[in-house]
């Protein structure tokens, strides 16, 4: 008996990481739902992937900073029982530093990079928890681990995505839902041009195909956190161990001794 592979909904699917995920999952025989603002590019991608791999591909045009559009995607996730994988990929950065970014720009970035992914997860996981299966891939970034990089609001949204993923795995893993956070470093996508930066001036830029292929190795291994550019995974293991070692010390009825003196 053949088991139907789950359909995959991918946000930010018109180019870059999202389009590459679409290509890779189509090659694996999964039907797709592509979500992005650029309908023409999605339709062109859908036509090519259907011709090459014979999978069914739906296109849902949505601006994920617009509430009404987000609600459409939420409804699709709630009601389309074929969708068993969500790739939360859509995201952006901003030009300039925090002192040059307006409150409106900051709010839009937080909506796209953090609020909307959390909403999409909240829309679909009740159905998956009932079914006892489902998978979420949240595209975070190594910037979320590195305040020193100076991308203040962008980095904060990516730190949110990492925490969201880890906490979801703790809560939902026992209910059959797999959650993966993927932390790219600099990757050759259109995000650079859109944020006013020239990617060709950077060193150590990973090609998008290599990034997604590495992330999928982590996906198949069911890693909770995948960091494709990190050569030594023992460093991540040590960081996690140090974090976990603090947990028993957080439940205290008094402030630590070092805070009970003025000096």
Q: Note the pLDDT tens digit of each residue in 104-125.
A: 999 999 999 999 999 999 999 9
Catalytic positions, written as ranges? 154
Segment 171-196 mean pLDDT: 86
Please give the domain boundaries of the chain with CATH numbers for all domains. Answer: 7-232 (3.40.50.720)
Question: Is pLDDT of 181 > 60?
Answer: yes
- 1 pLDDT band (50/70/90 cuts)? very low
Question: Is pLDDT of 143 > 90?
Answer: yes
pLDDT at 189: 78
Phi, psi of 247 (to 5 degrees): -55, -45
Q: Note the pLDDT tens digit of each residue in 56-79.
A: 999 999 999 999 999 999 999 999
pTM, to two decimals:
0.94
Q: Note the pLDDT tens digit of each residue in 37-58.
A: 999 999 999 999 999 999 999 9
pLDDT at 196: 64
């Amino acid at each position: 008996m053949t088991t139907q592979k789950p359909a995959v909904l991918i946000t930010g699917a018109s180019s870059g990481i999202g389009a590459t995920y679409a290509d890779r999952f189509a090659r694996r025989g999964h039907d797709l739902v592509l979500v992005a603002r650029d309908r023409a590019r999605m339709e062109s991608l859908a036509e090519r992937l259907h011709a090459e791999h014979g999978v069914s591909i739906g296109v849902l045009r949505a601006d994920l900073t617009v509430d009404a559009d987000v609600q459409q995607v939420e409804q699709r996730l709630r009601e389309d029982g074929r969708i068993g994988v969500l790739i939360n990929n859509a995201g952006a950065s901003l030009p300039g530093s925090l002192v040059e970014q307006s409150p409106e720009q900051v709010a839009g970035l937080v909506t796209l990079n953090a609020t909307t992914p959390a909403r999409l997860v909240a829309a679909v996981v009740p159905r998956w928890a009932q079914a006892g299966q489902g998978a979420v891939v949240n595209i975070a970034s190594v910037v979320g681990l590195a305040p020193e990089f100076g991308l203040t609001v962008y980095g904060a949204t990516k730190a949110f995505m990492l925490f969201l993923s880890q906490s979801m795995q703790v809560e939902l893993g026992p209910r059959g839902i797999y959650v993966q956070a993927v932390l790219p470093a600099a990757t050759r996508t259109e995000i650079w041009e859109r944020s006013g930066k020239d990617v060709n001036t950077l060193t150590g830029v990973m090609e998008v195909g290599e990034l997604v292929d590495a992330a999928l190795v982590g996906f198949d291994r069911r890693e909770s956190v995948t960091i494709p550019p990190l050569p030594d995974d023992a460093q991540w293991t040590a960081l996690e161990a140090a974090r976990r070692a603090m947990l028993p010390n957080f439940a205290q009825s008094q402030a630590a001794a070092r805070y009970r003196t003025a000096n």
